[in-house]
Amino acid sequence: MYRCLIVDDEKISRDGIAQSIDWQNLGIEIVGLAKNGAEGLAMFRETTPEIVLSDIQMPIMDGLALAKKIRTQAPETKIIILSAFGEFSYAQEAIQHGVQNYLLKPIDEKELEEALIKLLQEIQIETKRKHQRQTIDLLFKREIIPLVKNTGIVTVLDAEGFTPTEGEGIEGEIEGNRISILTLTHFTYERIILSGQKGFYSSYRSDGNVVKSYQEARMVMAIALFWSRTNLTYWRVEQQRKKWRQFRFERNNEVNKSSRKLVEALHQSCQSEIQETLTSFFRLLKQFVGLDAEKMKTTCMNLLRKVNEYSNFLAEEEQRCFPEEIMALTTFDQIEEKMHQLFEQLLINYQNLDQQAHLSIIEKIDRIIEQQMAGDLTNQTIAEQVFLSPNYMAATFKELTGRLLSEYITEKRLEKAKELLLTTNLPIVKIAKQVGFSSQSYFTKNFK
């Protein structure tokens, strides 16, 4: 049985979660119900659960602080954050603390069960990989090390899954003419043994998948002698370190640049430009080794936050739901597809807002004509009051009404004149002046 700890300051919420689904059927045992983060941390240390469900806002210690402490002590622990808040800042911080999922209250039972099943699958895969890794390590120690024991090898390091983030600490491994590690990709498993000008290179590859057994490992293990200059190897490590720094710089720049381009495309209602910008954005991100799905989620959340800062296109409900939807994804392709969908929705939002804004402009123009009919009503004088250029205002008016603004003003004046003729005893000259006609003859000509 897997163990799960529930942390929530509301008793009704704690008990509700504990009773909402068939935990035993999932193979999960509830090992504790804590009312705040501090109590939850104490229970965590005592029960060492594989899964923690925690609320965010709690007294003494909140859920994010708890997640941070758990991640420090037991990084393999799976954490689900439960919150009534969908703010980007909460979701971003949760990702940074290694939270696997982010569910909004009130908790949907089916959604919670699906999230737990997904975590259990991840735990099983990680456990299997750990066992496979131990088998490979044992193979290496028993067979490879004895072969090179008397060859002057100084250091043997396992470099599986080496990422650029580790490149920053590589310099400590370089000492004189000796170096003990070489940059690798995520899709190979290689062990590097180097010493001075000579070195042994042992390589184990299986198309990105660790072999399942000792026997398979022996079949694919090969040892080849090669000559290597230490400075060349050092250069490769330095290049990887520089690449990581360059990536961080370019990623931040790309977020800013892409967010501005996306806002411009939204303003222009240009769907093709939006899709092209997003495609280019993800193409750049995928070029860098070391960017996993969690880092990509953080980058996408930053992009959405920037776009919303510039434009405020996200409705309140979308601000709640989008972080949760992104947090639930696990692969690059899923994240990219979801971002395309989100921006399609943003475009619809903008077009609706734009339409509302245009209708609001028409209402303002109509109100100005009614209130200032006796005055000098021109494109220029009206445009100044709605804070638009005369040309843009006139074009927008015609687009939405199908009429010229000057014709509309004349029509409104004549309607008002007709009303005054029928309801008052004012002479024509006064009526003409009251509705904005400076010449009685011009008024009479139009009125006929």
pLDDT 10s digits, 114-124: 999 999 999 99
Select the more confidently predicted residue: 215 or 347: 347
For residue range 38-58, what is the model confidence (pLDDT) as tens digits? Answer: 999 999 999 999 999 999 888
For residue range 266-319, what is the model confidence (pLDDT) as tens digits? Answer: 777 788 888 888 888 888 777 654 566 777 888 888 787 777 665 555 555 555
Residue 206 · residue 191 · CB < 8 Å? no
Residue 272 · residue 226 · CB < 8 Å? no
- Long-range Cβ contacts of 8-13 (<8 Å, 24+ apart): 8/33, 8/34, 8/35, 8/53, 8/54, 8/55, 8/58, 8/82, 9/35, 9/36, 9/55, 9/57, 9/58, 9/59, 10/55, 11/35, 13/55, 13/82, 13/105
Nearest to 316 by CA among 52, 51, 54, 86: 86
Q: What is the CATH number of domain 2-125?
A: 3.40.50.2300
What's the CA gap between 362 and 266, in Å, rounded? Answer: 22
pLDDT at 36 (0 to 100): 93
Please give the structure tokens belonging to residue 354.
Answer: 């734009």
Helix axes 332-371, 316-327, angle to 10 degrees: 170
pLDDT at 214 (0 to 100): 31
What's the CA gap between 135 and 214, in Å, rounded? Answer: 6
> Which range (125-129, 297-301, 312-316, 356-360) has the least confidence?
312-316
The owner of tokens 């999960």 is 28
Per-residue pLDDT band at 33 (split at 50, 70, 90): very high
Whether residue 241 has pLDDT greater than 70: no
Q: What are phi and psi of 424, to 5 degrees?
A: -135, 170
Protein fold of 373-447 = Arc Repressor Mutant, subunit A (1.10.10)
Whether residue 394 has pLDDT greater than 80: yes
pLDDT at 317 (0 to 100): 56
Residue 203 · residue 190 · CB < 8 Å? yes
Per-residue pLDDT band at 89 (split at 50, 70, 90): low
Nearest to 374 by CA among 403, 409, 398: 409
Pairing relation of β-strands 78-83 and 51-55?
A: parallel
Most confident region among 49-53, 170-174, 384-388, 443-447 by mean pLDDT: 49-53
17-to-66, 113, 158 alpha-carbon distances in Å: 19, 11, 42
pLDDT at 74 (0 to 100): 92
Q: DSSP letter string over 119-150?
A: HHHHHHHHHHHHHHHHHHHHHIIIIIHHHHTT
Pairing relation of β-strands 221-227 and 198-204?
A: antiparallel
pLDDT at 4 (0 to 100): 96
- What's the per-residue H, E or C state across 359-406? HHHHHHHHHHHHHCCCCCCCHHHHHHHHCCCHHHHHHHHHHHHCCCHH
Helix (H) or strand (E) holding 306: helix 293-311
Nearest to 201 by CA among 209, 212, 185, 190: 190
Q: Where are the domains of the chain?
A: 2-125, 244-354, 373-447
